[in-house]
Amino acid sequence: MRAAVLHETGQDKLEVHDDIEAVGFGPGKVRIRVRATGLCHSDLSAMSGVLPQPAPFVPGHEGAGEVVEVGEGVTGLTAGDRVVVCWLPACGACPSCRRGQSELCLAGFMNAGTPNFRRSVGDVFGFAGTGTFAEEVVVDAGCAVPIPDDVPYDIAALIGCGVTTGLGAALNTADVTAGSSVAVIGCGGVGISAIQGARLQGAAEIVAVDPVRTRREAALRFGATRAVAPGELADAKQQLTGGEGFDYVFEVVGRSTTARTAYETTRRGGTLVVVGAGAMDDFLQLNMFELFFDEKRILPSLYGGGDVVRSYERTIALWRAGRVDLDGLITHRVPLADINEALDQMRTGTALRTCVEI
Ligand SMILES: [Zn+2]
Ligand SMILES: [Zn+2]
């Protein structure tokens, strides 16, 4: 089957090969024919080395498809089921799962050193244990979450990462209050989803911050009340909050510089939500006086900060009711053969989400 492979960390192009097979099928596993996958910024971060990931590997962790084969002992799934590929499955038994914080379950990372694919020339890993830039993946049964028949694969794929992450940051982690002021720094697919979440919660002011004009325009369509370039944020803070700062600021970039800006843009006693996936050697500096005296709450949000399967169900309900726009997030579509085009659209910020049809 075909899959797109990054040969060495730091390279910026993928190569589509057709001599690759998904390995590891057996008890407790599921084989999925991937139908659609979104390109998430974390894929680029894994390629560049910002996020840890052994190479060579198949990127892609935001996918959906059809179950083709179910291993021994798997219950609740049969061939033909439509599923979202969940890169952070919950085991249901560890202390985090038992506390109801299944987003902190590490079960999905237990196989991190095990290759997911094989080529004639050697082993290939899958990003975050999945690797959805492939026609087929073999994953733990917990990574295959069934979806209703009315959810198209391209929409289901978005729910697999970006939308769950952004909406969850606003609904689960921040639990934005009605009438509040919000700023969202970074307006790709995840940031736009955070904006939609803040709107759903009834935020009065939602300021979108992004250097790319098309993304600022998109943010306004998705519920931002104002959209500014990074250099205009200080003015917006002055005008909208009297200089005090916003009740909630979402950092959706994953860099210490934007996190520092986000901290300074948050009002005293307000909430900074850290959504962006950053590097292990990028340190955020806070002084001990401001940390205690300004009483700003810093809330990291991993994969939407809540029960993942419940978050999927909630998103589908909101989408069906027309309360969140997921279709509008897909600005570009490419076949797997043109995957490098999709990477460029993500790098330049022209795409909110590119759907790769597989
Ligand atoms: Zn667990
Ligand atoms: Zn992602």
In angstroms, the CA 356 to CA 337 distance is: 9
pLDDT, residue 75, reads 94
Q: How far is the CA of 290 from the centre of ligand 2 (A)?
A: 32
Looking at the predicted structure, is the pLDDT value of residue 111 above 80? no
Name the closest ligand to CA 90.
1
Looking at the predicted structure, is the pLDDT value of residue 150 above 80? yes
Q: Give the orientation angle of helix 233-241 with respect to helix 256-265, to 10 degrees.
A: 20
Name the closest ligand to CA 109.
1
pLDDT, residue 110, reads 78
**With contact defined as beta carbons under 8 Å apart, do 197 and 171 qualify?**
yes
In angstroms, the CA 302 to CA 200 distance is: 20
**CB within 8 Å of 310: residues ≥ 6 apart:** none
pLDDT, residue 48, reads 94
**With contact defined as beta carbons under 8 Å apart, do 284 and 259 qualify?**
yes
**CB within 8 Å of 224: residues ≥ 6 apart:** 184, 187, 195, 206, 207, 208
Looking at the predicted structure, is the pLDDT value of residue 112 above 80? no
Q: How far is the CA of 316 from the centre of ligand 1 (A)?
A: 24
pLDDT, residue 113, reads 82
Looking at the predicted structure, is the pLDDT value of residue 270 above 90? yes
Q: How far is the CA of 277 from the centre of ligand 2 (A)?
A: 9
Q: How far is the CA of 96 from the centre of ligand 1 (A)?
A: 6
Name the closest ligand to CA 127.
2
pLDDT, mean of residues 170-191: 97
Q: Give the orientation angle of helix 189-200 with respect to helix 213-221, to 10 degrees.
A: 30
Mean pLDDT in the chain?
Answer: 95
Q: How far is the CA of 109 from the centre of ligand 1 (A)?
A: 11
pLDDT in tens, 275-309: 999 999 999 999 999 999 999 999 999 999 999 99
pLDDT in tens, 80-104: 999 999 999 988 899 999 998 888 9
